[in-house]
Structure formats: C-alpha cells, structure tokens
C-alpha cells in the first residue's frame, strides 16, 4: 500500500498574507509530492510496505542499509509535511488554552517564553531543517533537526513543527527567516496541536 | 568603494530580524568595518541573466554573503583569528576557540565559499575548459562530458543545503559535496569550482527545479578563472 500525498486541509491561498499561495502550491504540490513518490519508490518491494511512516521512522535501523538514507530523507519529508499542513490553518494564531496551555506554562514558564524558545530554535537552525515542539517522555520540549529528520526518529512525538528549509519561505520572505517565523505564529492551529498533545500524553 | 562593500550595523541588525535572533547574538557586538570584507561582485547583478536572475544575485551577495561576512567578523572579534586568512582559519578549525567554532565554521565557510562562487561565474562563461585543466579533466573524468555529468549528479544529489565542488589535490581532480557551508578547505584541500545548492541560490527563478539551475550554471562557468585556480595548485 503506497503512501499518498494528503490533500491540503484548506485552499492554497488560505494562509495569506502570512504564507503565500504560490509557496503553498509548490511546497505541497512539488516538494511534498516528491518526498511521497520518492519514499514509495524506495520501499517498493520491501517489508516496509504496509507499515506506518511513524513506525518506519521510529526504527530506521530496521530499514535495509541500501535504502536507509532515502527512507530517512523522504520518509521524514513525507511525515513532517503531513504534520505541517495540519497544525496550520486560516483563523489560527493566538495562544493555546486547556491542558496544552497549562503544559506549556509548566515547561517554559509562559506562552511568551515558549514562543521565544521555539523562534530561537527555528532561527538558529543552520541550513535546512525544522524546529519542533515535541512530547518527550511525557514532557514538552523545543528542539530542532537538520534536513528532514524528525523527533519520531528518536522515539518522540512532534505536536508542532515549523519548516525552515528556504523553500518554505523564500518566495515571500527571501533571507528574512525571522519574519517568516513570526508570521507562522499567526496561522498555528492550536486546536489541532492540543489534539495531538492529548493523544501523545 | 562599492556600495555593497559592507553592511552597516543597522542593516545587520535588521537582517538579524526584529529581536528574534537576539538570543543568538547576545553579548556579541558587530565589528564595524570588520576584518573580512564583502568583495564586490566582479560583474553587474543582472550580468548572468537569464541563467541566474538579478534579484537572486542581489540578495545572494548583498544579504546572504554580507550576513556571513558580518557574523564571521563578529565571531572572531578579539580572538587570535583576527589577521589570519580565511583559508588558514578554515583549514584548522580545531584551533578556533570552542565557543565560537560553530559560528566560524558556518560563517567562515559561507564567506569563503561565496568568494569563490562569484569568481568562477562570468557573463562570458560557458563552453569547455582547455589547456592543462582540460587535460586534467580528461584524466579524471574521461572528458568534459563525463565531468559535467558527474558534477551535475553530485549537485543534484545533495540533500538539503550544501555545495558541490571540483577539488584539486596537487593537480588530481575530484568531485565532492559538502553540507551547509562546509568546504574542502576544512580538510586542507583546494576547491577550484563550486556550485551553491542552498535553495536561496536558485529558488526565486527555479523553485524546486534544482536540476534546471545546475544545467544553467554550466552556461556561466568562468573556465578561465577555474584554470587559473587549478594551475595555482600544481
């Protein structure tokens, strides 16, 4: 059973002006689509077919060595973008409440402290990569990874991620990555992040 | 002096972005008129059109390369690295103080890599190498076509941000790749040709089509300059 590129849960222009329609169109229709087809190409005919991508990424050592890098890169790209589209939405932004809000206050001191830590991790990731809010051993932690690596590869559960590959922002923000990071906070779908947090806790 | 020669402190702070990077730079002051200078582009920003567009060249040189230059100067300020050549610094990163080593690696690499990149492109570029360089390419790759194919494949295969290089080890040519702003200089080898495959090098014009950018790059390759660099390694 091949992995399928999920549809965007909103229109390509739904996140304007924070994330432009052209970026969304290429990011989803070209980059995410390539990771998906390259992942399928890599695992075709192996025991990995039929496993979930979370399961595959959680045990890369079990992947045949000849395709391990392809699975890491393209499987990571597949899973990361699946999450990325979900945790954004028109009408997003604001701050989380409920159990997630409490957990963020408990882990970081306040929402502003979380925002500062997350923005710092995203801004200082050199080259291509992601910054994450993940559930690690029951606790919330901010981290970053290079390229398409994900906390899933360390057995942890990302509940929020920002793509800081230049393809995620260059058409609209060029070298101004901090402006993109600030804009991202205006489209975070905290209701979805709270669901993911509840499922991971 | 070229207007792009250096960025003002204000511009650097604007680059660093409204406070979001403040944590990364706290305690670091920017060296005004620092040790390393952003070189002027050896041609106009639109000189490589249509292969590399003017907007990309302007941002790439005036923002990205300028950013690496300023951050490198800020990192080494007040250390023994001030006054050393960038090649010497990068060839012995172990000698850089540990607390600035990553900053020197990333920004020093970015500084040196782009210095080379502008030089080995030209509006009069393209074609094939000749002379001793052509002979060396023949020995290493069986000819220009073999080189071009291997170099393009290596550049296409870099996952994420990085570079692909033609390296001369005392005259013997090899193609290699490096992640981010790493360079063969870090192992004491001499790159004589490099293509930047960070997305910022091509995204405005080519978006996800990196292969098209690589194909276009060969049309602006300044082989005369690459040969000079090659001969200097013999």
pLDDT in tens, B148-186: 999 999 999 999 999 999 999 989 999 999 999 999 999
Number of other residues whose CB lies within 10 A of the CB of residue B231? 14
- Among all chains, which residue has been given the structure tokens 């899933």? A152
Average pLDDT over residues A124-130: 98
Q: Is the ipTM of this complex over 0.85?
A: yes
Q: Which residues of A touch B207 (CB under 8 A)?
A: 26, 30, 167, 171
In this complex, is the C-beta atom of A70 within 8 Å of any C-beta atom belonging to chain B? Answer: no
Is residue B4 a contact partner of residue B38, using CB atoms and an 8 Å limit? Answer: yes
Average pLDDT over residues A190-198: 98
What's the pTM? 0.91
What percent of chain A stands above pLDDT 90?
99
Question: What is the DSSP secondary-structure string of B183-211?
Answer: -GGGGT-EEEEEEE-SGGGTHHHHTT-HH
Q: Which residues pair with A133 in a beta bridge?
A: A142, A160
Q: Which of A34, A146, A178 sits opposite B17 (nearest CB)?
A: A178
Distance CA B57, CA B44 (A): 9
Residue of B15, B18, B20 to mutate, testing the A interface (most A Cβ within 10 Å of its Cβ): B20
Q: What is the pLDDT of residue B85?
A: 96
Closest CA to B81 of B36, B114, B30: B36
Closest chain B residue to A126 measured between Cα atoms? B180
Q: What is the pLDDT of residue B203?
A: 98
Question: What is the DSSP secondary-structure string of B101-130?
Answer: HHHHHHHHHHHHHHHHHHHTB-TT--S---
Cis peptide before B50 (omega within 30 of 0): yes
3-state SS class at A122: helix
Percent composition of chain A: helix, strand, coil (DSSP 3-state, to 5): 55, 10, 35
CB–CB of B162 and A127 under 8 A?
Answer: yes
Written in H, E and C, the secondary structure of B10-79 is HHHHHHHCCCCCHHHHCCCCCCCCCCCCCCCCCCCCCCCCCCCCHHHHHHHHHHHHHHHHHHHHHHHCCC
Q: Over the stretch A100-113, which tens digit does the pLDDT of each residue have?
A: 999 999 999 999 99
Q: What is the pLDDT of residue B212?
A: 98
Chain B nearest-CA distance from A179, in A, is 7
Distance CA A167, CA B117 (A): 21
Is residue B39 a contact partner of residue B118, using CB atoms and an 8 Å limit? Answer: yes
CB–CB of B159 and A177 under 8 A?
Answer: no
Q: Which of B18, B181, B200 sits opposite A166 (nearest CB)?
A: B200
Across chain B, which has 234 residues, the per-10-residue mean pLDDT values are 37 38 38 76 98 98 98 96 96 97 98 98 97 97 98 98 96 96 96 98 98 98 98 95
Q: What is the pLDDT of residue B34?
A: 53
Note which residues in 124-143 of chain A have CB less than 8 A from chain B: 124, 126-129
Closest chain B residue to A28 measured between Cα atoms? B208
């Amino acid at each position: 059973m091949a992995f399928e590129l999920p549809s965007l849960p909103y229109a390509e222009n739904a996140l304007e002006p924070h994330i432009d329609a052209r970026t969304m169109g290429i990011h989803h229709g070209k980059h995410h689509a390539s990771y998906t087809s390259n992942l399928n190409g890599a695992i075709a005919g192996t025991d990995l077919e039929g496993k979930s991508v979370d399961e595959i990424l959680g045990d890369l050592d079990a992947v045949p060595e000849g395709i391990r890098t392809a699975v890491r890169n393209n499987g990571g790209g597949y899973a990361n973008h699946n999450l990325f589209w979900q945790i954004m939405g028109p009408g997003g932004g604001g701050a989380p409440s409920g159990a997630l809000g409490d957990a963020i206050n408990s882990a970081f001191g306040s929402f502003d402290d979380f925002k500062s830590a997350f923005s710092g991790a995203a801004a200082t990731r050199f080259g291509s990569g992601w910054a994450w809010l993940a559930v690690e051993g029951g606790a919330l932690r901010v981290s970053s990874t290079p390229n398409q690596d994900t906390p899933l590869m360390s057995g942890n559960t990302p509940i929020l991620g920002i793509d800081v590959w230049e393809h995620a922002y260059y058409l609209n923000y060029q070298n101004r990555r901090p402006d993109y990071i600030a804009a991202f906070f205006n489209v975070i779908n905290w209701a979805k992040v709270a669901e993911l947090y509840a499922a991971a806790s | 002096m070229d207007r792009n020669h250096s960025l003002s402190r204000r511009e650097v702070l604007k680059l660093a972005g409204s406070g979001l990077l403040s944590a990364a730079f706290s305690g670091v002051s920017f060296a005004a008129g620092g040790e390393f200078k952003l070189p002027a582009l050896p041609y106009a920003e639109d000189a490589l059109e249509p292969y590399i567009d003017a907007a990309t060249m302007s941002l790439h040189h005036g923002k990205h390369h300028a950013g690496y230059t300023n951050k490198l100067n800020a990192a080494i300020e007040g250390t023994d690295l001030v006054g050393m050549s960038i090649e010497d610094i990068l060839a012995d990163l172990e000698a850089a103080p540990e607390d600035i080593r990553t900053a020197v690696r990333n920004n020093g690499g970015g500084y040196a890599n782009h210095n080379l990149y502008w030089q080995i492109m030209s509006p009069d570029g393209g074609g094939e190498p000749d002379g001793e360089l052509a002979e060396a390419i023949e020995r290493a790759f069986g000819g220009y076509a073999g080189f071009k194919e291997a170099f393009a494949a290596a550049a296409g295969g870099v996952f994420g941000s990085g570079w692909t290089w033609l390296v001369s080890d005392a005259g013997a040519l090899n193609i290699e790749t490096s992640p981010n702003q790493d360079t063969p200089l870090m192992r004491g080898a001499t790159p004589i040709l490099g293509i930047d495959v960070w997305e910022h090098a091509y995204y405005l014009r080519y978006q996800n089509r990196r292969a098209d950018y690589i194909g276009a790059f060969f049309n602006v390759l300044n082989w005369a300059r690459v040969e000079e660099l090659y001969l200097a390694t013999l």
